[in-house]
Structure 1
Amino acid sequence: MSDAPARSSYRHGDLRQALIDAALDMARQGGPDAVVLREATRRAGVSPNAAYRHFADRRDLLEAASASAQGLAADAMEDALEAVHGTGDPAVDARLRVGAVGRGYLAFARHEPGLFRTAFTVPNDLSRAFDADKAGRRGRTPFQVLAESLDALHAAGVLPDERRQGAELLAWSTVHGLGMLALDGPLRGLTDEMLDGATERLLLMVDRGL
């Protein structure tokens, strides 16, 4: 017997979310290429016609799954932030928090590679970096989590005025590069221990570069 919900059990908004959840399950297993609208309808237990009331096509569903995956990335970053033990020194604490943001981002890449690829390989730009559908449980998107940690670094006097503008792009590009090289590039053969070491050295480089 199928464990899919009965078609009549969904309210309008619930149906949309059920399809997104099904897409996330597929993305978790196989990345963005695994997201198929017809398969999402089967997993959600709804008819294709019902699905098309919410998503025009596969790309539309994939963009929604990408946004939700970014919210999950934000959760990983926020979880890493919560693990930081403050020292009472604003400058030291701000640097620790920026490092935690990068560490959480890379942990998400390593532990949820399918969702990481889905979150950040669907074409989009920074005009939607603050959209609510990209936010995690605490209401912030990955870009907001990073930006606010850099704001704190600036407020603590660690990041000078002349280097604050655009710092998100530099820090994000550097950390994302390691994530992608470890997943799909020549660094994918590194052991966990080697990746741990690379992560810490990269974050130290970002800290010094900022």
Structure 2
Amino acid sequence: MTKKRGYHHGNLRQALVDAALVLIEEKGPTGFTLSEAAKAAGVTPAAVYRHFAGREDLIAEAARQGFEVFADLMEHAYGKHKGSALAALEATGRAYLAFARKFPGHYVAMFESGISINRNADLALVAGRALGVIEKAASELMAELPANRRPPARMVSSHMLAFSHGVVELFARGAPGTKSPFPPEDLLESGIGIYLRGLGLITPDG
């Protein structure tokens, strides 16, 4: 009797996550079934339920693993420019674009699947670590402003995330609206520059 291919992976749980990531990239987070993920991993649909309660749990694990990589990239980008709050903040934005480009399945699971980062404690913890790096960089930069003109660091970091996400969605992926005469990194840097000039953190000629 021939054994199912998926069991040869040695780690069925990870094989299912890997299969889901490919399906997410190809079909979107709601475009596949657990049966399809099981088939891609080479196991029976019943085997999936030994590890995941349903498709959302499977996607949540893909998101958690993505946030692990994302957090490492954010910390590396921040660490390279730790002496300059402005450079560190810009570096985290560039790292966001790089992550979306290199790990599209994880990116969709994390930011476009509708899965809450508070779905489980492990996901919340690693997402908090990743997003906390951007907030830390924003906080250090905002400290250069007088207290009465200083917006909350969490608000600023949320704006940075919104800029980064918007550039990815409109200009850095194979979707309508991707045509732009400017590289995504340049769009992001110029947008951040305009934002920070409005706060008085960059001079008009800076």
> Into which bin does the TM-score normalised by the smaller protein fall?
0.7 to 0.9
Describe the shift of the 1:124–1:24 C-alpha distance in structure 2 as closer, same or farther (beyond 3 A).
closer
Describe the shift of the 1:141–1:122 C-alpha distance in structure 2 as closer, same or farther (beyond 3 A).
farther
Indicate the residue corresponding to 1:120 in structure 2: 111
How far, CA to CA, are the matches of 1:40 and 1:146 in structure 2? 34
Post-superposition Cα deviations, 1:118-158, rounded to whole Å, max 9, x if no partner, equal: 320122456x299533666xx9643122122223334xx32
TM-score where L is the length of structure 1: 0.71
What percent of counterpart residues are identical? Answer: 30
User: Which one has more relative contact order, counting CA pairs under 8 Å at least 6 apart?
Assistant: 1
Describe the shift of the 1:181–1:163 C-alpha distance in structure 2 as closer, same or farther (beyond 3 A).
same
Structure 2 residue aligned with 1:104, among 82, 95, 112? 95
TM-score where L is the length of structure 2: 0.72
Structure 2 residue aligned with 1:40, among 27, 32, 37? 37
Q: Unaligned 5+ residue runs, structure 2?
A: 200-206
Structure 1 residue aligned with 2:68, among 61, 67, 71? 71
1:152 lines up with 2:140 in the alignment: yes
Describe the shift of the 1:135–1:159 C-alpha distance in structure 2 as closer, same or farther (beyond 3 A).
farther
Q: Unaligned 5+ residue runs, structure 1?
A: none
1:207 lines up with 2:196 in the alignment: yes
Post-superposition Cα deviations, 1:80-113, rounded to whole Å, max 9, x if no partner, equal: 334x355xxx5xx111111111111122223444
Please, what is the CA RMSD of the aligned residues? 3.5
Indicate the residue corresponding to 1:143 in structure 2: 131
**How many residues in Structure 1 have an aligned counterpart in Structure 2?**
194
Describe the shift of the 1:179–1:47 C-alpha distance in structure 2 as closer, same or farther (beyond 3 A).
same
Describe the shift of the 1:177–1:5 C-alpha distance in structure 2 as closer, same or farther (beyond 3 A).
same
How far, CA to CA, are the matches of 1:159 and 1:185 in structure 2? 39
How far, CA to CA, are the matches of 2:140 and 2:58 in structure 1? 36
